[in-house]
Structure 1
Amino acid sequence: MTLRRWGMPIEGTASRVLHVDLESGASRVLLFEGRPHHLGGSGLAAALYDAYGLPESPAFDPRQPLIFAIGPLSGFFPLMSKVVCGFRSPYTGEWAESHAGGRLALSLRFAGYDALMITGRARTLSCLVVGSRRLEIHDVHYLRGQDVFTSGKYLRRYGKESSGHRSTVRIGPAGERGVTFACANVDSFRHFGRLGAGAVMGGKNLKALVVTGDSGIELPEGRDYPKLYKEVYQSVTGTDMMQKYHDLGTAENLLVLNELKALPWRNLQATTDPAIDGISGERFAEQLLLRQTACAGCPVGCIHIGLLRQQFARDHEFLYKQVSYDYEPIFAQGSMLGLTNASDVLALLDETEKLGLDCMSAGVALAWVAEAFEKGVVTEKETLGPVHFGNVATFVAALHHLANGTSEFWQALGKGVLYAADIYGGADFACVLGQEMAGYATGEVYFVSQALGFRHSHLDSGGYAYDQSAKDKDVDKAVRHLLDDEYKRLTINCMVACLFARKAYPPERLQEALASLGMRAEADALPESGRAMQALRWSLKFRTGFRPENVRIPKRFTEVVTWKGPMDVDYMDAVRQAYTSELYRMVVDAAREA
């Protein structure tokens, strides 16, 4: 296939895509032309949806593709360890992405594929196993309702001969039920977390995906590649560039943001609290850090694993669980819920993992429930039990209600906080910016950037950093920052690198890396193609229903007070309007050029 909609046809290079139809069991390998244009990762996923997706059909239409894409540098350079999952979101109804690490990127590379595209719905709950020379669809109906970790134990039977190069993606009960912010767990400690990838798998009757990296890749000849590899490796291991992520990890941000009055507490009713010491990154490191690990292909080791002693097995001294943590999970299931004990946060995160819920959306959703319960907006008639800030036991019970949809209230909440608030009340204090917020109450630009950003994510652009560094309220400057920073991050997401490594991979370094692999057309086209893929992604989002003027920024965000003082609502509205205009301009200009 040749891309024509977004420019002149580009021949001679192709991405190797495995397409599997779960309904028929048929598969085929597509040679998807145009890599210098779509590049890979985010661009490849968008180009595949542009070619094979159904913009006029709903998210749960079985014909909609679920796409896992890596980039041209995956497996060849350090920290090229991420996979882009592209899908029609059941949460927003729009084209969406979620990114995850683990072993999946290298497993796909060693299986010989640049992307895996899955369509159709399996006739029974199934596990898809793929490798370079195998494709199997196994009936796993006996795993229905099983949690993520129990399922993982059964799934280890598949691909044993490639266990070191094998990756497993699976969902829990929340994904099977179609909770719109259900996640897909990747290799125990990583996730396709946001916007409902787990629900999409559940809609396809796909309990799990196992990718066996059972082949190999050839390294380029000559001196350029090993020389550049050594330089990149040295920059991320021999300097302090990645020290923060290895040492305390992003949990280091808790004390900093609390001091800045930018850390959400108790459903964003406050932005600082003296009880922060109980859940700080330092407290986790001193008392609960068990070990650190890394995604395949990464020498940094930023994944922090906490030790959780089994609360129900006090007479078994050595019985414990391993729970990963970093800043966002601690915010969402710690400060946002008024929890000030690190062990309580790990206990709640462990339950969230088992159920297969996105920890950020689930935590923010429960924070809204706690405030709604506190104010009498909802009662035990709806919640089936008390839900109180600071009480971990009530939140554990609430999580199970949420994942299992045990009442009409919890079923509504499983479609998002604003969906439930529109039915029961409490929309003014719903902490939703396109989806349940990330943990940065830094100010006006960040609130607009997440509400209107492509993934409704703090990782779309550095809006949170802009709030902290900007010394004026220049609307044009703020919007230009959001668009340019999104473009820079997108080029990395087309490769697909961990965003922690963006200092190690500026655009010119990415071009050099591509050239060292013999991909000179991709290297030369990178700046122009990055802009084209930015426009393509936004075009798909608009074509699947996105209208920035309809996105709500609830009243709670206008009431926030940070180290800079109260929110300037006029400034926030001006940034929103200017950003909206630029998004429309980008899509219209791209359509005109096509």
Structure 2
Amino acid sequence: MSPLSPNSFDRTACFRVLVVDLAARRGDVVILDGRDQVMGGSGLAALLYQKYGLPGEPAFHPGQPLIFAIGPLTGAFPLMSKTVCGFKSPYVENYAESHAGGRSALSLRFAGYDALVITGRAAAPAAVVLGSRTLQVVDVHYLWGADIFTAGKLLRKIVPGNSGHRSILRIGPAGENRQAYACINVDTYRHFGRLGAGAVMGAKNLKGVVIHGDADLPFPENKNYTKLFADIHSKATATDMMEKYHNLGTPVNVLPLNELKSLPWRNLQATADPDAGKISGEEFADKLLMSNAACSGCPVGCIHVGMLREMFSDKHRFYIRQVPYDHEPNFACGSMLGVTDPKEILALIDAADRQGLDAISAGVALAWATEAMQKGLVTPETALTTLAFGEPEGYKTALYHLGHMTNDFYAALGRGAGYAAAQYGGGDFACVLGQEMAGYATGETYFVSQTIGFRHSHLDTGAYSFDQKNKDQDIEATLKFLLDDERERVLLNNLVSCLFARGVYKPALIAEALDCLGFSTLAHTLDETSETVRNLRWKLKIQTGFDPATTRIPKRFSEIVTWKGAVDADYMERLRTAYAQKIIALAGENAPAAGT
């Protein structure tokens, strides 16, 4: 490794990046220009993919980088608690991002790095262990095949020390088998969940990454820092929004969405159901909530951990599992599958986590498979179990097979519901919007935004909220909202802030925080930097194979009714086409790109 010290360079001008080559079993510290152009986080990940990525090669090519990046305020201010993972996705075969909390961001920051880049493929199953002064590529062939929880337990024993300052990233069988929506588990309760980052780790023979945040960082010298930190902390803990996230968490959305006819039920065959009260946030909190937890650097504590009590086979003893839950996994393993027992929803989330699966994609894919079985397109023999809405036991069996890709059916389903539907039929009711939908059936704007949006995620924009407030079919006004909202979120993703804090971190406060830490140029160019990063990300996504114009929205999404009435398929298609053209223009020849 380079002898460069974490404090031997100007962080306000450059990035300090650790680049690890698994094949060579070594790493180098790289000092990279571009801070004033891309800020950090999402922008840094894109800059690093531009430098190290192989746009024309498949996602599983050994040379493709797996990138973890943090922002300029990480470790200095509350709720700057996320890490961006940038990679070429095996699900969509173009550049993608996934974001996660836990301890990963602060551990990376206190290891002295703005980013970690992993390239190559290890000759045998390995784990990367790094700190401020150390780097090891450790042989862990004996962990290959271990589930997420076993792998985490053993990695903690293999790599002891720095408890509370250490982050452990690992994959389960799904990642090892290169299942296209395999996730990376982060510190047990958080995930790089969407678009298959776990499969990229599996393709690299990389079982885990252990980051020791073992360095001391200098306290900011600006005399206003302490006052500003206290002010932000107060705002973050005093707002009604943050109180909601702490108390019931995102499952508080269930009853309002059901009332608005916007909660997907049984593979989106319905958008409301009288049983919604059984799986509400209030019901989970009353019956199953065990504790709240928080990502490092966050005072809110939005992670809700449920208590899953299960009997041993002798029926005389029981054991307790701690299972994190949120609205999205609850919907995917609950209403989307017709399961209305909160305990069984926790059991399904736990089963998905154990395999290292994205619980959202897994649940929605199984919802498609269930309807396909109802219609005779898939048989119990093919699925190795009977799938029926409201019957959790079949889903538990299926989640094991999804993680292990046991036969041709699960190999197909492991590439997504849309891919499986192309093989078995039923494309009209595959609930895929770029990837399997999240838990909001709010209407045309949301369906278009997830289909075309950069991460194919409800977190790309507030479109689900826009649908709930706007009944008019005004394409120009809707496009303006989508584009303005995306630019604002790109700014937060560059920092990398928890998006729950978007009501606190307004541009003026962000500028003050950046200026306080010496990032004076960034503080005065927020809009320009966000626009540069947005265009760079879209350029990379399109360069690596994404074509917004050829996206499609399956028929099921035009068959539903929301509070506004029946979805208007014609309007939705016109909005999709117009939004696609806007995105293509953003990535056009005149779009500014960092480093040029």
- Mapped partners of 2:466, 2:237: distance in 1: 28
Provide, for residues 303-344 of structure 1, a one-character-per-residue CA deviation record: whole Å limited to 9, x for no partner. 000000014457455621000001001100000000010000
Q: Does the C-alpha gap of structure 1 residues 257 and 592 become closer, same or farther in structure 2, counting only changes over 3 Å?
A: closer
Q: Does 1:31 align with 2:53?
A: no
Q: 1:216: Cα distance to partner?
A: 1.5
**Counterpart for residue 191 of structure 1:** 191
Give me the whole-angstrom Cα distance separating, in 2, the residues matched to 1:166 and 1:313.
36
1:393 aligns with 2:393: yes
Which residue number corresponds to residue 231 of structure 2? 231
Matched, 1:461 2:469: no
Q: Distance in 1 between matches of 2:241 and 2:591?
A: 40
Residue of structure 1 equivalent to 2:212: 212
Structure 1 partner of 2:255: 255
Give how far 1:215 is off: 0.5
How far apart are the structure 2 equivalents of 1:310 and 1:470? 45
**2:62 corresponds to 1:59:** no
Which amino acid is the alignment partner of residue 391 of structure 1? E
The 3-state SS of whatever aligns with 1:265 is: coil
Match of 2:180 in 1: 180
CA distance in 1, matches of 2:238, 2:571: 43
- TM alignment of 1:346-361, pairs within 5 A: 346-361=346-361
Secondary structure at the counterpart of residue 390 of structure 2: coil
8 Å Cα contact 2:418/2:432 also seen in 1: yes
Q: Partners in 2 of 1:524 and 1:28 — Cα distance?
A: 33
State the AA in 2 paired with 1:207: K
Question: Aligned letter for 1:248?
Answer: L
Q: Structure 1: which 4+ aligned runs deviate by more than 3 Å?
A: 311-318, 589-594
Amino acid at match of 1:151: A
Tell me if the contact between 2:536 and 2:592 (Cα under 8 Å) persists in the aligned partners: no
Listed as ranges, the matches of 1:88-103 within 5 Å are 88-103=88-103
Shift of 1:585: 1.2
Residue in structure 1 matched with residue 562 of structure 2 by the alignment = 562
Q: CA deviation at 1:237?
A: 1.4
Shift in Å at residue 43 of structure 1? 0.2
Please give the alpha-carbon distance, in whole angstroms, between the structure 2 residues aligned to 1:233 and 1:131: 28
Q: Are 2:583 and 1:580 aligned?
A: no
Shift of 1:94: 0.5
Please show how residues 371-386 of structure 1 align to structure 2 within 5 Å.
371-386=371-386
Residue 6 of structure 2 aligns with which residue?
none
User: Is 2:253 the counterpart of 1:273?
Assistant: no
Shift of the alpha carbon at 1:551?
Answer: 1.4
Three-state SS of the structure 2 residue aligned to 1:68 is: strand
Separation in 2, partners of 1:315, 1:328: 32
State the SS of the aligned residue for 2:28: strand
Contact kept, 8 Å, 1:11 with 1:33, in 2: the verdict is no
Establish whether residue 201 from structure 1 lines up as the match of residue 201 from structure 2: yes
Q: CA deviation at 1:504?
A: 0.7
1:430 alignment partner in structure 2: 430
Q: Percent identity?
A: 57
Give SS of 2:157's match: coil
Aligned letter for 1:550? T
- Residue 4 of structure 1 is matched in structure 2 by none
CA contact (8 A) 1:158 1:210 kept: no
| Contact 2:535-2:592 within 8 A present in 1 as well | no
Structure 1 window deviating more from structure 2 (49-58 vs 14-23): it is 49-58
Q: Following the alignment from structure 2 to structure 1, what is the Cα–Cα distance between the partners of residues 592 and 263?
A: 43
**Corresponding residue for 1:5?**
none
- The alignment partner of 2:271 has SS state of coil
Shift of residue 577, structure 1, vs aligned partner: 1.2
- Judge conservation of contact 1:106–1:213 (CA < 8 Å) in 2: yes
Deviation readout 1:201-229 (Å, 9 max, x if unpaired): 00000000000011021121132211111
Alpha-carbon displacement from aligned partner over 1:47-97 (angstroms, at most 9, x marks no partner): 011111111111001101000000000000000000000000000000000
CA distance in structure 2 between the partners assigned to 1:183 and 1:291 by the alignment? 24
Offset, 1:31: 0.5
Q: Secondary structure at the match of 2:503?
A: coil
Contact 1:430 1:556 in 2 (8 A): yes
* Corresponding position: 1:49 with 2:49: yes
Alignment of structure 1 residues 73-222 onto 2, 5 Å = 73-222=73-222
Preserved CA contact (<8 Å) 1:454 1:460: yes
Cα drift, residue 590 of structure 1: 3.5
Q: Which moved more, 1:225-234 or 1:170-179?
A: 225-234
1:172-193: CA deviation from partner (whole Å, max 9, x where unpaired): 0000000000000000000000
Deviations 1:150-196 (A, max 9, x none): 11111002442312200000000000000000000000000000000
Secondary structure of the 1:409 match is: helix
- TM-superposition CA deviations, 1:438-458 (whole Å, max 9, x none): 011000010000000000000
Question: For 2:366, what is the secondary structure of its paired residue?
Answer: helix
| Structure 2 CA distance for aligned equivalents of residues 538 and 185 of structure 1 | 27
Compute the displacement of 1:238 (Å): 2.8
Which 5+ residue runs of structure 1 have no aligned equivalent?
Answer: 1-9
What one-letter code is carried by the residue in structure 2 that aligns with 1:78? Answer: P
Separation (CA, whole Å) in 2 of partners of 1:365 and 1:470: 30
The separation in 1 between residues aligned to 2:529 and 2:147, in whole angstroms, is: 41
Measured on the aligned residues, the alpha-carbon RMSD in Å equals 1.4
Contact 1:159 1:166 in 2 (8 A): no
**1:229-269, Cα deviation, whole Å (9 max, x unpaired):** 11100101133230110000000001110111100000000
CA apart distance, 1:591: 4.4
Q: Specify the code of the residue in structure 1 equivalent to 2:46.
A: A
Pairing 1:409–2:409 present: yes
Q: Counterpart of 1:479?
A: 479
For structure 2, the residue ranges without an aligned partner over 5 or more in a row are 1-9
CA-CA distance at 1:510 after TM superposition: 1.0
Q: CA–CA distance in 2 between the matches of 1:194 and 1:26?
A: 29
CA contact (8 A) 2:222 2:517 kept: no
Amino acid at match of 1:509: L
Q: Is the 8 A contact 1:290 1:305 kept in 2?
A: yes
Tell me the residue number matched to 1:7: none
CA gap 1:24/1:167 in 2 versus in 1, 3 angstroms:
same
Q: What is the aligned partner in structure 1 of residue 501 from structure 2?
A: 501
Residues 12, 33 of structure 1: 8 Å contact kept: no
TM-score by length of 1: 0.97
**Structure 1 residues 407, 584: closer, same or farther in 2, change over 3 A?**
same
Contact kept, 8 Å, 1:313 with 1:319, in 2: the verdict is no
In structure 2, the residue corresponding to 1:488 is in which secondary structure? helix
Deviation at 1:552, TM superposition (A): 1.8
SS in 2 for 1:160: coil
Q: TM-score w.r.t. structure 2 length?
A: 0.96
User: 1:12 deviation in Å?
Assistant: 7.7
| Deviation (angstroms), 1:403 | 1.1
Deviation at 1:568, TM superposition (A): 0.9
Establish whether residue 544 from structure 1 lines up as the match of residue 582 from structure 2.
no
Match of 1:6 in 2: none
